[in-house]
Amino acid sequence: MDISAILMESIREMESGGLWGDMVWDSPEEAVRRRVNAVVDEVAALDSEQRYEGQLVEFLVDKLNILDDGFLNQVVKAISARGLITPPYVEPDAYYEIDDILENWEVPNISERKAIWRNFPVSVKARELGCADGKDRYAVVLHEENLEQWRKDRSETWDEYQNYETWALARLEHALDRYSHIYTVEPADDALFVIAVDAEEQMPPAKRALDVLRAAGVNWKRDGANHDIVPRGMTADAQSALLVALRACSDCTVEPRTGFLCRVVIGSAATTTPAAAAPVAAAPVAAAPVAVAAPVVAERPLDILSRFPVTWKRAGAVHDIKVHFGKCPRKEIPAMTARLLAALRGCAGCVVSAPVSDEFICRVVIA
């Protein structure tokens, strides 16, 4: 017979209000009563922590080395009658208001998906790409190694250290809510959650300058890398569109050229020579069907915006510019943004200022 099992069962029966029946002596002898009282007095002298159910059984097992069911039952009955059994202690979960977790914490820029796992102890794994609703879906799961290492390296308070996982996930959910224009959070049974984003579309490869020229049906005079373009009966709109297409090519620069539509220098850095640069005089070209070539048309702000993967919100002349995430792979966003800002700031027809929020790239006021 196991005295621990007997005591545990006796305690549970007393706590549940079970009947003792013949196990309880109605008139115990005086010697037994003294022994029972002595044990109960020792129990009463214990700290409350020592009188939890499990600890109390251990104490009685050590104290009582006899296997007398009736005596054990009387001891347990007397202990319960005096309310000496401490209920099992359950440590409450630490609870913090979200304001405590977010205090003095800044939401990082997570417009790029890789910024999620660089700022939070999680992994983002592809789950279903190219869904019927035009979304890519990624499962977000804990990164156990980073969780433990960042708890040590990144916790700024003792509370954060003690509850790092709770704090990190609460902050992640808050950040995703701030970037709800990019990420939609969906429930998942086998992950923390799933995020749905606009399906990434690879930008088509940039066309080569010669491909653009051949498609436009123009002629040119070549001198090494220099190609002087003869428009041959093109309308002014067609010439303007060709210049925009050539400037978008990454394998050439476009320069003004007297007597021609322009000069295309293939293989040079993709930077356009300002119109004010000294043009090189050229003899008239007898073969050219036009007496005077159309002047180089300055690129307008909307022309610049139209050749980048962006959209905008307009209020009169004010245009707030943001990334079109469905047309620009996220890995290309930083480089694309830099090129766009450089092009806009070099345009005389607008004023570029800082964005009004992190949803936008910049604000453009068109003159």
Q: Which of 346, 248, 245, 362 is nearest to 312 (CA)?
A: 362
pLDDT score of 173 more than 50 = yes
Sequence-distant (≥ 6) Cβ neighbours of residue 196 within 8 angstroms: 131, 133, 135, 136, 137, 183, 184, 186
Beta-bridge partner residues of 253: 265
- pLDDT higher at 67 or 299: 299
pLDDT score of 188 more than 50 = yes
Alpha carbon distance 219, 230 (integer Å) = 5
Q: Where does the pLDDT of residue 228 fall: very low under 50, low under 70, confident under 90, or very high at 90 and above?
A: very high
Q: Which of 96, 122, 102 is nearest to 183 (CA)?
A: 122
- pLDDT higher at 125 or 81: 125
Check residue 26 and give its pLDDT.
46
pLDDT score of 245 more than 90 = no
Summarize the confidence of residues 308-335 as an average pLDDT.
Answer: 84
> How many Å from the N-terminal Cα to the C-terminal Cα in the chain?
96
Summarize the confidence of residues 201-222 as an average pLDDT.
Answer: 76
Check residue 286 and give its pLDDT.
47
Check residue 165 and give its pLDDT.
92
- pLDDT higher at 45 or 197: 197
Summarize the confidence of residues 49-61 as an average pLDDT.
Answer: 72
Which of these ranges, 15-29, 64-78, 220-234, 290-304, has the smallest mean pLDDT?
15-29
Summarize the confidence of residues 180-202 as an average pLDDT.
Answer: 86
- pLDDT higher at 204 or 241: 241
Q: Where does the pLDDT of residue 34 fall: very low under 50, low under 70, confident under 90, or very high at 90 and above?
A: confident
- Please state the separation of Cα 172 from the chain's center in Å: 7
Check residue 11 and give its pLDDT.
61
Alpha carbon distance 296, 292 (integer Å) = 12
Question: Domain-by-domain residue ranges, the chain?
Answer: 3-81, 98-198, 203-297, 301-366
H-only helix segments in the chain: 3-15, 30-44, 53-63, 69-81, 98-102, 114-119, 144-154, 158-162, 164-178, 209-216, 236-247, 301-306, 333-345
Check residue 279 and give its pLDDT.
45
Check residue 241 and give its pLDDT.
85
Q: Where does the pLDDT of residue 338 fall: very low under 50, low under 70, confident under 90, or very high at 90 and above?
A: confident
pLDDT score of 14 more than 60 = no
Check residue 267 and give its pLDDT.
75
pLDDT score of 187 more than 60 = yes
What's the whole-model pTM score?
Answer: 0.36
Per residue in 250-306, pLDDT (tens digit) is 788 888 888 899 999 887 544 433 443 444 444 444 444 444 444 545 678 888 888
pLDDT score of 150 more than 90 = yes
Alpha carbon distance 198, 309 (integer Å) = 14
pLDDT score of 356 more than 70 = yes
